[in-house]
Chains A and B, each alone.
Chain A
Amino acid sequence: MILAVIPAFNEEKRIAKVVAAAKGFVDGVLVVDDGSTDQTAAYAKEAGARVVRHAQNCGAGAATMTGIDAAHALGARAVVTLDADGQHDPKEIPLLLRPIEEGRADIVFANRFGRKNVIPFVRRLFNGIGNVLTLFVTGKWVSDSQCGFKAFGPKALKEIDLRMSGFEFCTEIVRETTEHRWRIVEVPTKVLYSEYTLAKGQSFANGIRTALRILLRSFLR
């Protein structure tokens, strides 16, 4: 069974569309409602997703880990994670799953910079800083380490153990790949930025906070 895991926080405007689009490419969709104060959970359920709800907002990392644990408990052999704001095209889920199905990878990273995508300069800069920080704390270069569009194979699903609760979990996933020696494949994908996704994304202050947390938690780990 292949499941899509979508961590979501106050995404009532987009969640139903994302769930409906993803449903066609996986056996089931799991939405982790990370303490939303709007109708995210209700709309996701209505669109056909199974919903797991955090009582309080804990962050994207915690929601992703809850989704992966839930998928594991449901017997999933592979999981695809994607953002709830609709910036990833669910039609590309099979592209991400292919290396896992062919036995070439334990984890597949989408690479938004591997194709001609219209990405604002600030986003490119933030992602570049994220990549360099990730390289600094994990020793591994991933072209788009901060992207939420990933696929996990059976080995990765079994061994993953995320402790970072915020956006810094993306760096922690790279650390997990080195710690457990997962085979990595990177797949160039589309990205669909809109005013909505740009407004929902990380602010400058949030980016700095995430960077500091990556450093602090890497040191404390």
Chain B
Amino acid sequence: MTLTPYQIVAPIISLLALAYAWNLVIRKKKSILEACFWTIFWGAIAGIALDPSVLHYLSELTGIANQENAVIVTFLGILFFMVFYLVMRLEELERRYTKIVRSLALREAGLEGKKEEYKANKEDKEHKEAAEHA
């Protein structure tokens, strides 16, 4: 089998991107979920580059043989992504709101500080370690 330059370069770039994404997970700068998404994305790029006939197989498997079906599936995908994104944003907002309520409670009781100091020191240490590794 003869490989074209694209079939060599695309998988190498995919591998590098994946190594970078999972490295960020190990350094706790990216969630496992994000890394999984990147793995699927770059895996698909590499897979299609190495074996373009995968696209024909996908077309047969999904039955997306015409443009109308493709449009419907695409919009379903977009809607799914939007709902997922909203759930993630809601989770994030709830976390921030809880953090504010908890901080206020501790401040009112005159007990704010020590734990935050510990966490800040821990984060500093992690950043330094990450910088040293890099």
Tell me the A residues contacting B by CB distance below 8 Å. Answer: 32, 35, 50-56, 58-59, 62, 65-66, 69-70, 72-74, 158, 161, 163, 165, 216-217, 219-221
Of A52, A69, A163, most buried by chain B (CB within 10 Å of CB) is A69
Q: Which of B60-68, B69-77, B90-98, B125-133 contacts A (4 or more CB under 8 A)?
A: B90-98
Residues of B contacting A65 in the complex (Cβ-Cβ under 8 angstroms)? 102
Question: Which parts of B76-122 form the interface with A (CB within 8 Å)?
Answer: 87-88, 91, 94-95, 97-98, 101-102, 104-106, 108-109, 111-115, 118-119
- Kindly state the separation between the CA atoms of A25 and B91 in the bound complex, as whole angstroms: 38
Residues of B contacting A158 in the complex (Cβ-Cβ under 8 angstroms)? 118
Q: Chain A: interface secondary structure?
A: mixed
Residues of B contacting A62 in the complex (Cβ-Cβ under 8 angstroms)? 98, 101-102
- Kindly state the separation between the CA atoms of A202 and B118 in the bound complex, as whole angstroms: 34
Q: Chain B: interface secondary structure?
A: helix
In this complex, the interface size class of chain B, counting residues with CB under 8 Å from chain A, is 20 to 34
Number of residue pairs spanning A and B whose beta carbons lie under 8 angstroms apart: 66
Residues B106 and A52 in contact, CB atoms below 8 Å apart = yes
Residues of B contacting A54 in the complex (Cβ-Cβ under 8 angstroms)? 101-102, 105
Residues A58 and B102 in contact, CB atoms below 8 Å apart = yes
The distance from the CB of A165 to the nearest CB of chain B, in whole angstroms, is: 5
Residues B33 and A72 in contact, CB atoms below 8 Å apart = no
Residues of A contacting B119 in the complex (Cβ-Cβ under 8 angstroms)? 161
Residues B31 and A220 in contact, CB atoms below 8 Å apart = yes
Please give me the residue from chain B that is nearest to A163 by CB atom.
B95
The distance from the CB of B36 to the nearest CB of chain A, in whole angstroms, is: 9
B32 interface residue per 8 A CB criterion: yes
Residues of B contacting A51 in the complex (Cβ-Cβ under 8 angstroms)? 109
Residues of B contacting A66 in the complex (Cβ-Cβ under 8 angstroms)? 102, 105-106
Residues B111 and A70 in contact, CB atoms below 8 Å apart = yes
Of B87, B98, B118, most buried by chain A (CB within 10 Å of CB) is B98
- Kindly state the separation between the CA atoms of A165 and B112 in the bound complex, as whole angstroms: 19
The 24 sampled A-B contact pairs (Cβ below 8 Å) are A32-B105, A51-B109, A52-B105, A52-B111, A53-B105, A53-B108, A54-B102, A54-B105, A55-B104, A55-B105, A56-B101, A58-B97, A58-B102, A65-B102, A66-B106, A73-B113, A73-B114, A73-B115, A165-B95, A216-B91, A220-B31, A220-B91, A221-B31, A221-B32
- Kindly state the separation between the CA atoms of A50 and B111 in the bound complex, as whole angstroms: 11
- Kindly state the separation between the CA atoms of A24 and B87 in the bound complex, as whole angstroms: 45
The distance from the CB of A30 to the nearest CB of chain B, in whole angstroms, is: 9
Q: Which of A35, A56, A69, A216 contacts B106 (CB 8 A)?
A: A69
The distance from the CB of B32 to the nearest CB of chain A, in whole angstroms, is: 7
Residues of A contacting B98 in the complex (Cβ-Cβ under 8 angstroms)? 58-59, 62, 165
Residues of A contacting B105 in the complex (Cβ-Cβ under 8 angstroms)? 32, 52-55, 66
* Besides the known contacts A74-B111, A163-B95, 7 further A-B residue pairs in the complex with CB atoms under 8 A apart: A51-B109, A54-B105, A56-B101, A72-B115, A158-B118, A161-B119, A219-B32
